[in-house]
């Protein structure tokens, strides 16, 4: 197989590359050939998972968050994610913009208006009436629970594990490297390859779902701007364009391509946010930012451990309750991104300390997310009619945003800008921002998948990087073109099922990191070198300053 890699001008582990590519192609063929059958099978799997293991997902993410805080605050917080003399490659500003654009920028543009409005008109917590002030406060709190600290916890734990074992001990850039303290040399055998293949598949399908949603949102914006029908062919054309932009960025590389797109896009996104703040109800939103911080902090403990155990049977949300459709699905889907985001974050965080990494990756994007939802969410609910008295006073003008969300979630952001000054211009800018955010997610994922195949930070051959970029776009495009909505629905079911084993893998990163930190107490460990088997066999409780 290695000869085939050389003949095709490719580089890396042939088993990982060809099996991942082959399984991706096989799955798409089966999904296109019999979408109903595949969709039903994975739908049943998803139902079983969210019904019986929803509590496991919710508890697990909280445990991960607790472990990260302990790691940062412990004596190991001074450990540098790289050799002793290493130093961060990117400034704090560039580091943050790359984190944000690669990780959650796409989600904020998609859900920044849609999720608060969804919970505002259909409150998930018992005893709360729709379109009330309490419903609005809960809507903001729940949106932040889903997309702020806990989402970044799912990215930060794998990122810390990758950064520690790959950057510090010079292990291959693969998910399997994290499990060296547990598997030893078996990370290079069938078990390790299976872990890496599963991680690649999870990344490909997770990004494909996001590209499908992104094309829906861009298509909704174009339809709103130009009156073009939101057809399948329009969505496919948008996917082709997004893939072309992502591929160009992939060819340019991490520093010139991804970094440039990330910096441009975060600048435009911040400008959009400032525009809403200035042209909207400025004083109301400034007060809302401060109040949102308090709402989030006060409601987070309750929401983080809320398990929807008393939802009752026969509800519209299904036998597993509201959280099966929202929170558990969010965590299962997000964790399929964790190998991609984790390795990407580790790659751009070389030289930072454990404490700097954990608090930087957790808190900086979380703070931005809080401000984003405070501005977009509160402004959207005010436009829609904030409280039943306000809605009664507005009469027929009330409910503009909630009606748009009920009609089409991808349309929410554009319906929102339609109510603000310079509507057409701002809708056009929003289309561009959404498109670039999804393109940066695609190119970041492609570069990481390429690293998983090569096992090195050096980029693989251009044709290899382009292959993965095109593969992500092709998976989403084929599903839209050949299987329509049934294909995307089936893929979302698959993501939930695929998310379970990846979730378990991330859980196992905690004992691997604990053994790794304990190995720092062994005086003879050589910083920056691959750890010897004996280093992990002779872990002691000797105190150490963590080697800053």
Q: Which residue has the higher pLDDT, 513 or 224?
A: 513
**pLDDT at 522 exceeding the cut of 70:** no
pLDDT, tens digit, 9 for 90 and up, residues 203-234: 888 888 777 777 878 888 888 888 777 777 88
The pLDDT confidence band at residue 201, using thresholds 50, 70 and 90, is confident
- Average the pLDDT over 335-363 and give the result: 88
The pLDDT confidence band at residue 269, using thresholds 50, 70 and 90, is confident
Residue 458 contacts by C-beta under 8 Å, 6 or more apart in sequence? none
**pLDDT at 159 exceeding the cut of 70:** yes
pLDDT, tens digit, 9 for 90 and up, residues 90-126: 888 778 777 765 556 677 888 899 999 999 999 998 8
pTM, two decimal places: 0.87
Residue 352 backbone zone (phi > 0: left; psi -120 to 50: alpha; other: beta): beta
For Cα atoms 62, 65, 71, give the angle at the middle one, nearest 5 degrees: 145
| C-alpha 78: how far from chain center | 27
pLDDT, tens digit, 9 for 90 and up, residues 455-511: 877 767 777 878 888 888 887 777 777 655 555 566 667 777 888 999 999 999 999
**pLDDT at 422 exceeding the cut of 60:** yes
For the chain, give the percent of residues with pLDDT over 90.
32
pLDDT, position 536 = 56
Contact, 125 vs 310, CB < 8 A?
A: no
Alpha helices in 34-163 (DSSP H): 35-73, 92-103, 105-111, 114-121, 133-147, 149-162
Q: For residue 80, give the 3-state DSSP assignment.
A: strand
pLDDT, position 2 = 58
**pLDDT at 277 exceeding the cut of 50:** yes
Q: Which residue has the higher pLDDT, 51 or 100?
A: 51
Q: Which residue has the higher pLDDT, 237 or 528?
A: 237
Contact, 447 vs 250, CB < 8 A?
A: yes
pLDDT, position 176 = 92
The pLDDT confidence band at residue 534, using thresholds 50, 70 and 90, is low
Using CA atoms, how far apart are residues 348 and 369, in angstroms rounded to an integer? 21
- Average the pLDDT over 266-271 and give the result: 84
Using CA atoms, how far apart are residues 469 and 474, in angstroms rounded to an integer? 9
Q: What is the mean pLDDT of the chain?
A: 82
**pLDDT at 316 exceeding the cut of 50:** no
- Average the pLDDT over 18-27 and give the result: 87
Q: Which of 246-260, 299-313, 375-389 ranks highest by mean pLDDT?
A: 375-389
| Domain spans in the chain, listed from the N-terminal domain onward | 13-308+332-523
b vs e for 70-108, b when ≥16 Cβ sit within 10 Å of the residue's Cβ?
Answer: ebbeeebbbbbbbbeebebbbeeebbbbbbbbbbbbbbb
| 9: DSSP letter | T
Q: For residue 539, give the 3-state DSSP assignment.
A: coil
**What are the C-alpha distances in Å from 462 to residues 9, 249, 250, 286, 446?**
9, 11, 8, 47, 11
């Amino acid at each position: 197989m290695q000869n085939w890699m050389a003949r095709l001008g490719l580089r890396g582990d042939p088993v990982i590359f060809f099996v991942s590519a082959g399984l991706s192609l096989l799955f798409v063929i089966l999904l296109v050939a019999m979408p109903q059958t595949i969709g039903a099978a994975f739908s049943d799997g998803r139902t079983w998972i969210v019904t019986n293991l929803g509590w496991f997902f919710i508890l697990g993410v909280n445990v991960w968050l607790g472990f990260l805080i302990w790691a940062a605050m412990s004596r190991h917080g001074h450990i540098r994610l790289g050799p002793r003399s290493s130093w961060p490659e990117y400034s704090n500003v560039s580091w943050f913009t790359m984190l944000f654009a690669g990780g959650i920028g796409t989600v904020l543009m998609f859900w920044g208006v849609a999720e608060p409005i969804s919970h505002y008109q259909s409150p998930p917590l018992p005893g709360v009436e729709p379109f009330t002030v309490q419903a609005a406060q809960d809507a903001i709190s729940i949106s932040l629970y889903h997309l702020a600290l806990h989402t970044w916890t799912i990215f930060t734990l794998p990122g810390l594990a990758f950064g520690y074992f790959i950057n510090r001990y010079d292990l291959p850039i693969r998910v399997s490297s994290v499990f060296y303290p547990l598997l030893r040399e078996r990370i290079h055998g069938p078990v390790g390859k299976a872990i890496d293949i599963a991680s690649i598949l999870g990344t490909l399908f997770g990004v494909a779902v996001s590209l499908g949603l992104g094309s829906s949102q861009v298509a909704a914006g174009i339809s709103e701007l130009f009156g073009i029908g939101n057809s399948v062919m329009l969505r496919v054309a948008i996917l082709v364009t997004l893939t072309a932009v992502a591929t160009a960025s992939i060819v340019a590389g991490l520093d010139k391509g991804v970094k440039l797109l990330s910096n441009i896009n975060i600048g435009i996104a911040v400008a959009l946010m400032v525009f809403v703040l200035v042209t909207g109800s400025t004083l109301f939103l400034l007060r809302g930012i401060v109040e949102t911080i308090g709402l989030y902090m006060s409601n987070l403990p309750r929401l983080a451990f809320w398990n929807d155990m008393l939802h009752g049977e026969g509800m519209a949300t299904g036998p597993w309750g509201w959280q099966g459709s929202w929170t558990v699905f969010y965590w299962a889907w997000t964790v399929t991104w964790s190998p991609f985001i984790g390795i990407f974050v580790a790659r751009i965080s070389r030289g930072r300390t454990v404490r700097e990494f954990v608090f930087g990756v957790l808190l900086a994007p979380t703070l931005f997310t809080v401000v984003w939802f405070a501005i977009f969410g509160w402004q959207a609910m005010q436009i829609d009619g904030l409280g039943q008295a306000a809605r009664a006073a507005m009469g027929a003008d009330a409910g503009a945003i909630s009606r748009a969300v009920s009609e089409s979630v991808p349309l929410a952001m554009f319906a929102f800008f339609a109510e603000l000054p310079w509507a057409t211009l701002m809708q056009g800018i929003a289309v561009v921002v959404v498109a670039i955010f999804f393109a940066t997610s695609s190119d970041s994922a492609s570069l990481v998948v390429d690293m998983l195949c090569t096992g090195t930070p050096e980029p693989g051959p251009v044709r290899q990087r382009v292959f993965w970029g095109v593969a992500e776009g092709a998976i989403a495009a084929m599903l839209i073109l050949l299987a329509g909505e049934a294909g995307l629905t089936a893929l979302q079911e698959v993501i939930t099922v695929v998310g379970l084993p990846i979730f378990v893998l991330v859980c196992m990163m905690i004992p691997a990191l604990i053994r790794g930190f304990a190995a720092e107490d062994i005086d003879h460990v050589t910083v920056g070198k691959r750890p010897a088997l004996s280093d992990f066999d002779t872990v002691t409780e000797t105190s150490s300053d963590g080697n800053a």
